[in-house]
Structure 1
Amino acid sequence: MAKANWAIDPTHSEIGFKVKHMMFTNVSGKFDSFSADIQNEETQFETSEIRFSAEVKSINTGNSDRDNHLRSADFFDTDTFGTLTFKSTSITKVNEGQYEIKGDLTIKDVTQNISLGAEYSGLMKDPWGNTRIGLSLNGSINRKNFGLTWNAALETGGVLVGEDIKLSAEVQFVKQ
């Protein structure tokens, strides 16, 4: 069976995250500049090889002071480490339309194997004749495992920034 190549449609995709702020609320953010592609046997999602990268300078939490702090050496150090990447290593079907995607996530030159839950929509034709696939992805990482260790103690106890980062993505890919 021939391999199919798919490119992300950035206008219909969002890569986001959430982290606890002051131990009791979540702050959300996203990356505005990213790319991704998939190569697979068209009708067999389990055969997919997924590659993703994001320009870390494009981080956007809706607050420029916070975004600049995240770009600084306290967090991502974007002058030295401008890109984060993910490359799948395996995809396992869990239930109909539900998959577990394992892969290597690299942030600040630290690579860790992570697991993402994926909801795969299957193939569809859009009104212009393009074949598309859609994915909803979710997972969690500990930011300290990637050298993102900055924090501040709160007078009331606890810390300013949580360790666990919830990852989420809603993405569409177009067959090339």
Structure 2
Amino acid sequence: MVDPALHELTGEWIIDPAHSRIGFSVRHAMVTTVRGAFTEYESRLFFDGQDPTRSSAEVVISTASVDTGVGQRDAHLVSRDFFDSDNYPQMKFASTNVQFIGNDAYRMTGGLTIRDVTRPVVLEMTYIGHVLDPFGYQRVGFDGTTTIDRSDWGLTYNSKMAEGGSMVSEKVRLQFDIAAIRNAPAG
């Protein structure tokens, strides 16, 4: 059963980029993990606190905004080998279904579009909480994750290691650490 306190959260929300992170992690050279994030995106979220199945999310991300903290790697990621940002400047997630699983857990199914290829993904989401901030805005927090196989979207660039294995893992973990605010101050 959905917590009755969530009923008041029903409405339109936007992701607060100053307090959110849309990121990823991927194994590199089979021995380490590279982490990165996208710094530019737009969102439209609708949360129905009484009937989560009526909730929805759409996030459009600028592929050129990828940031791993290493300029040379970022330049490679926006090249034709990976995101091909000149030809595919955006990737998009659009939900198709939301389920309440229990204990603040939700499952969001949707289509992830990268390089004009759309494939279904399932995000495991956790409700973190909500608060009225000092500026009169309602804020809500969710964390979500999923793991994808990047080759499903045509991201197949790789190099083989001398000892076997690949330079870049096919499996990529996506992370959504979301702080969302209502479009207008509360009250």
Q: Normalising TM by the smaller chain, what interval?
A: over 0.9
**CA separation of 1:120 and 1:100: change in aligned 2, threshold 3 A:** same
Partner of 2:112: 105
Contact 2:19 2:178 in 1 (8 A): yes
> Which among 39, 44, 47 is matched to residue 54 of structure 2?
47
Would the aligned equivalents of 1:97 and 1:122 in 2 still touch at CA under 8 Å?
Answer: no
Return the offset for 1:129: 1.7
- Residue 42 of structure 1 deviates from its aligned partner by 4.8
> After TM superposition, which residue ranges in structure 1, 4 or more long, deviate above 4 angstroms?
none
- Equivalent pairs: percent with the same residue? 34
Letter in 1 for 2:67: N
- CA drift at 1:43: 4.5
Query: What is aligned with 2:3?
Result: none
Match of 1:69 in 2: 76
1:13 equivalent in structure 2? 20
Paired amino acid for 2:84: D
Name the SS of the counterpart of 1:17 in structure 2: strand
TM-score normalised over the length of structure 1? 0.94
Which structure carries more strand by proportion? 1
Query: 1:129 & 1:96 partners in 2: Cα distance?
Result: 28
1:87 matched to 2:94: yes
Give the Cα separation in 2 of the matches to 1:85 and 1:57.
Answer: 13
Q: Which has a greater percent of helix?
A: 2
Equivalence for 1:127: 134
Q: Secondary structure at the match of 1:68?
A: helix
User: Which AA in structure 2 matches 1:71?
Assistant: V
Q: Which string of whole-angstrom CA distances, capped at 9 and with x for unpartnered residues, describes residues 14-57 of structure 1?
A: 11100110112110010011121212335444421100011000
Q: Mind listing any 5+ residue stretches in structure 1 that lack a counterpart?
A: none
Would the aligned equivalents of 2:52 and 2:99 in 1 still touch at CA under 8 Å?
no
Distance 2:164 2:14 in 1: 46
CA pair 174-43 structure 1, distance change in 2 beyond 3 A: farther
Tell whether 2:34 aligns with 1:27: yes
Render the CA deviation track for 1:133-153: whole Å, top value 9, x for unaligned.
111011100000000000001
RMSD: 1.7
